[in-house]
Amino acid sequence: MLVRYADWVRPTDGDFAFSLREDVVPSIPPSGTRSEVRQIAARALTPESAARFERSVHRWSGPEDVIDGAQPYAVEQRWFEEAPFSAGLDVAALEGVLRGVVRVMRTPERVDFVMRDHHTLDALLYHYATTGQLPAGLFHADRHSDWCTDATLMARVPEQAATWWALLEGVKRPGVDAGPVLREREVLFCTAQPAPVDGEKNVGASLRVPGCVDRSLVGWDDALGDARLGGVDWVSLDLDYFQPARQLRLSAGLIRDPRFAELMGRARVRLFVLSPQFLSGGDRIGRWEIQGSLHSSARLLNLLRR
């Protein structure tokens, strides 16, 4: 069926539109409390939007590692757990994250989310349900852009990690005729992707960005030089941006830059995504098994959080 341009409704204003509740009562759960995504959506979204969110936005089934005959990580990331703040996390702490439980740690100044999969919308809803706060701007560093076109979004039932950037415009502020919480153009995105080696695939779509983003200006130095950086209060870092070593050679300057240190110091919310299946630096690598060293991920995570 031919749809006239004048009749086109963006999916983020239709099937992928999710309105936040006006009557949300923020409440931070005690340490040790686990909250499931459907509970979070019911608190943060209007009833109709919560039902559509659960129906429309899916989650990855997890890494397929076989350990002692079981697959402990082949589970959707659906839980958020409040945990005591810790400046350093070890591999044991990351085990729970690998099993699909987002670790949430708070100080009076900020909230750190440590996630396995890049489910930014889940984190946004959890933060709204617990604090009533919404982001003003987002800085996002990732080897993969995780952005898709409207046509791609409508053509399949997407996994959130691969579509969260496009889906951001679907989350609407409370109130009648309220606009998106964050528009695509309000994301400061930076990437660093080396040429493939050793038979790795290089999926061009992994660097796809919306038309409002200049593809020639997606390096970390471009993002840090953007005039909008001062309005950013959320930072999202995918660890595959820095791992393995050849990724670090492309992006280590970000860690050393004083503008990045200032940004990390004032951010109200910081998302750290392990993406363990990408630690080898490749795109899809056959089975979704964990690659690389979780010890190195823990060291990098602790460095970034400091």
- Does 103 reside within a domain? yes
Q: What is the pLDDT of residue 58?
A: 87
CB 235 within 8 A of CB 271: yes
Structural domain harbouring 177: 16-305
Q: What is the pLDDT of residue 2?
A: 46
Tokens representing residue 167 in the block:
């889906």
Q: What is the pLDDT of residue 149?
A: 87
Residue 299 neighbours by CB under 8 Å, 6+ apart? none
Q: What is the pLDDT of residue 233?
A: 97
Hey, how many other C-beta atoms are within 10 angstroms of the C-beta on 142? 24
Residue ranges, the chain, pLDDT below 70: 1-7, 158, 194-205, 280-286
pTM over 0.75: yes
Tokens representing residue 277 in the block:
């299946």
Q: What is the pLDDT of residue 102?
A: 98
186-229 pLDDT tens trace: 899 998 876 666 655 655 567 788 888 888 888 999 999 999 99
- Does 5 reside within a domain? no
Report the distance separating Cα 158 and Cα 147, nearest Å: 11
- Does 7 reside within a domain? no
Look at residue 34 and give its three-state secondary structure.
Answer: strand
What are the beta bridge partners of residue 35? 80
- Does 202 reside within a domain? yes
110-145 pLDDT tens trace: 999 999 999 999 999 999 999 999 999 999 999 888
Look at residue 170 and give its three-state secondary structure.
Answer: helix
Amino acid letter for position 152: T
- Does 1 reside within a domain? no
Q: What is the pLDDT of residue 7?
A: 62
- Does 3 reside within a domain? no
Q: In angstroms, what CA-CA distances link 236 with 32, 179, 241, 262?
A: 24, 22, 11, 15
CB 161 within 8 A of CB 146: yes
Number of domains observed in the structure of the chain = 1
Closest CA to 61 of 161, 146, 155, 145: 161
Strands 79-83 and 101-106: parallel
CB 113 within 8 A of CB 175: no
Closest CA to 276 of 297, 295, 290: 290
Closest CA to 187 of 154, 208, 165: 165
